[in-house]
Amino acid sequence: MSELREIISTGNDLAAIAAVDAGCMFFGGYPITPSSEVMHTISDLLPAVGGVAIQMEDEIGGVAAAIGAAMSGVRSLTATSGPGMSLKAENLGLANMAEVPLVVVNVMRGGPSTGLPTRVAQGDINQAKNPSHGDYKSITLAAGNLAECYTEVVRAFNLADRFMTPVIVLLDETIGHMHGKAMIPTAEAVKAGIKPRKTFDGPPEEYKPYGVAQDEPAVLNPMFTGYRYHYTGLHHDADGFPTEEIETCRKLIDRLFRKVDEHRDEIELNEEYMLDDADILIIGYGSASLAIKEAINVLREEGIKAGMFRPITIWPSPEKRLEELGKKFDKILSVELNQGQYLEEIQRCMGRKDIEKLTKTNGRPFSPADIIEKVKEVF
């Protein structure tokens, strides 16, 4: 029996279907263009499997409810767009500090502020790295096609439970509203791959939820199951109680970094397209990568050997691979639907400032012709 199935859908609907197949039992959110279909669809799907979907009074209430549900032990989702991410920021900081697993789907649109609500952009890249103030490591994934609107949401739930942290999945208006055929895993295959979050089953008096190794996440038993701990956004000790003890505070923040940084091999995922014999490297992500691929096919028909590197895990960035590619290629073009937010990270990883860029911030997607013209212009 094949572990793939064919489906005709939109990216937003696929994200909702993926959440339910991955075991999500709660959605808390608020409608916002262009992500509203995620809430609409999951509101139909969750009651059928015994789950709950709630439209809260605003974006803040939506993420707060989702965090509360996650504390009870269920997989929990919220979905939004850029302005909603801004409103959710404080609660996302709380979830990072308290180490609450949560998935956030952000269907990007033009900004800042209200921006272009019905148009496409990739302006939330830097925000996704640090959606709230303070020191912590964000995990952010970026879907680049319809199938990944499904598979990356599934992966996000597994990563959230593994690392006990919010995981952001970036779609954008183009890919969220795109309607087409996708080959996605069967629900049975997805369920077979679910690994429950770690729990403590010893004597309650020995339970130390934050008393873990420096490269590991907290072990938070579901609330109401006989194990007690303190839940706070303050710096805290092994029991979760607030503290200002110098070494305890230092080790806490150090661990929030190390639990991600020292396990990048479990998080990083990239796509490389026609890179083996390429002379020109094009870097892009999200829906822009679809135009890049088509442009590469046309360029190669004309004898111009271009290839693409696409980070699927945006944060933490694929530092080592970007460094390697920076040494291998002289001609590099970064393509983004913003003013060059990820370009700054590419420059940092490669240690170079001579990377060409193609950007667009008028709410319109790239066409393959845009990319072909730029390649011919600069190389």
Numbered ranges of CATH 3.40.50.920 in the chain: 271-378
Q: Where in the chain is the domain with CATH 3.40.50.970?
A: 4-192
Domain 4-192 sits in CATH 3.40.50.970: yes
How crowded is residue 365: how many other Cβ atoms within 10 Å of its Cβ? 18
Q: What share of the chain is helix, strand, coil (3-state, %, to 5)?
A: 40, 20, 40
Give the whole-angstrom CA distance, residue 366 versus residue 374. 11
pLDDT in tens, the chain (379 residues): 468 999 999 999 999 999 999 999 999 999 999 999 999 999 999 999 999 999 999 999 999 999 999 999 999 999 999 999 999 999 999 999 999 999 999 999 999 999 999 999 999 999 999 999 999 999 999 999 999 999 999 999 999 999 999 999 999 999 999 999 999 999 999 999 998 899 999 999 999 999 999 999 999 999 988 898 899 999 999 999 999 999 999 999 999 999 999 999 999 999 999 999 999 999 999 999 999 999 999 999 999 999 999 999 999 999 999 999 999 999 999 999 999 999 999 999 999 999 999 999 999 999 999 999 999 999 9
Q: Which CATH architecture has domain 271-378?
A: 3-Layer(aba) Sandwich (3.40)
Please tell me whether residue 366 adopts helix, strand or coil conformation. coil
pLDDT digits (tens, 9 = 90+) for 102-161: 999 999 999 999 999 999 999 999 999 999 999 999 999 999 999 999 999 999 999 999
Predicted confidence at residue 9, as pLDDT, reads 98
**H/E stretch holding 310:** strand 306-311
pTM: 0.97
